[in-house]
Chains A and B, each alone.
Chain A
Amino acid sequence: MEKSIESIWKQGFLNNDALVAPKLNDLYNQKSMHLIDKFKRMFKINLNLIVAGSIMFLGISFLIGIPFMGIGFFLTLTVIVVVNRRLSRGLSKIDKSESSYHYIKAFDDWLREQVSVNRKMAGFYYPLFFLSMVLGFWYASFDGKQPGEALTNKLISTYPDQDLVFGVPIIVIIGVILVTVFLAYFGGRIYNWDLKVVYGDVLKKLDEIITDMEELRN
């Protein structure tokens, strides 16, 4: 009996054997390579952007009269870039000829070390950024006027009894110390948040692949 193409199609696929998916031997390898290459690209671009941004800001800071801020940012960012460039050498040492699982685990280990070093550094560099900003504005020169001096005069006229330390009102020093301590204490958490914003997607995929692969291995 003649059959229509529609019935051939339906009956042909009634048997589940017709739809056996092939084994994906290389899929995890390709996923790992793709993910790690993507991370390397992002990492390199971010470091280059930091270098370019810090140099540009240094120049601008002198032009607009906030050189302390420019120098502070430049020095802090330079340290971050140098440390991360050194860390990235470890990335190129990961052996691509390893199995996908070992390759991605080696990458994960490298990433954990990189995150741990940066998290520790964050406790220093966030306060340094803040101090650079404060110093930058305090000693800025806008049309020959210093905002720090103007603020000191205003505070003295409002609270005439307060002490000055090196010409800076004690209330300002206490405020700056409190914020600096806060940033030093929470630097690691701020870094985690920062990391999530920039690399969150890649890190999530990395975790998924490792979980998938570990399930397959067990």
Chain B
Amino acid sequence: MPYSAIIIKICRAYTNTQEDFEDYYQEVCLQIWKTRNNFRGQAEWSTWVYRLSLNVNLTLMKKKSNHRYATTESLPDELGESSQAFADESLNQLYDAIKLLSEVDRGVILLYLEEKTYQEIADITGTNPNNIGVRIKRIKERLKKLLDGKVN
């Protein structure tokens, strides 16, 4: 599947178990396949994949009521399988922190880390580009706090 890296990165941020991750990944792939004819080329294909992946993840999260970390301020007591998803421990910790953000903030920070421009982030998330900068600053501060000074 082309652009599978994008889908993996997004699905990891919205799931807590390997099983959920595989389900979400599969559903995104299926939706891309089903709706690929809707891609009209107004944006880049990768932008379209980001948008669709985020939308599918948000929809599935709502369906599965998988919000257990979204409103807590602290890291989960027990590390779920997702915490061991990557070989890089720092990346696992960063993902754990990202999962504590709200659904929209997760999307925004993932797109920021993927080096999307503010305009692209706004296009993909359907938000105002003028607010993206401030929002990213706030999210980064929150992540730093969550990672307890392990990042600068």
Contact = CB atoms under 8 A, between A and B. Distances in A.
Nearest to B7: A21
B94 A26 contact: no
A2 B152 CA distance: 6
Given A2-B151, A19-B5, A12 B86 contact: yes
A5 B26 contact: no
A38 to B, nearest CB: 9
A22 B88 contact: no
Interface range for B: 20 to 34
Q: Which of A15, A22, A26, A34 has the most CB of B within 10 A?
A: A22
A4 B150 CA distance: 9
Interface string A7-47: 01101110101111111101100110010000000000000
Main secondary structure of the interface of B (DSSP, over half): helix
A31 B30 contact: yes
A12 B88 contact: yes
Interface string B133-152: 00000001001100101111
Contacts of A143: none
Interface residues of A, number: 25
Contact of B4 (A5, A21, A34): A21
Contact of B26 (A3, A19, A24, A34): A24
Contacts, number: 74
Interface in B15-70: 21-22, 25-26, 29-30, 33-34, 37
A17 B87 contact: yes
Given A2-B152, A8-B94, A31 B33 contact: yes
B150 A22 contact: no
B8 interface: yes
B2 to A, nearest CB: 11
B113 A3 contact: no
B37 A3 contact: no
A201 interface: yes
Q: Which 9 pairs between the two chains have the least Cβ-Cβ distance? A: A12-B91, A12-B88, A2-B152, A22-B22, A9-B113, A21-B4, A8-B90, A18-B86, A19-B5
9 contacts: A3-B152, A12-B86, A12-B88, A12-B91, A19-B8, A21-B1, A22-B21, A24-B25, A24-B29
Given A18-B91, A21-B8, 20 more contacts: A3-B90, A3-B150, A4-B152, A9-B91, A9-B113, A12-B88, A12-B91, A13-B91, A18-B86, A18-B87, A19-B4, A22-B22, A24-B26, A26-B26, A27-B26, A27-B29, A31-B33, A34-B30, A34-B34, A201-B37
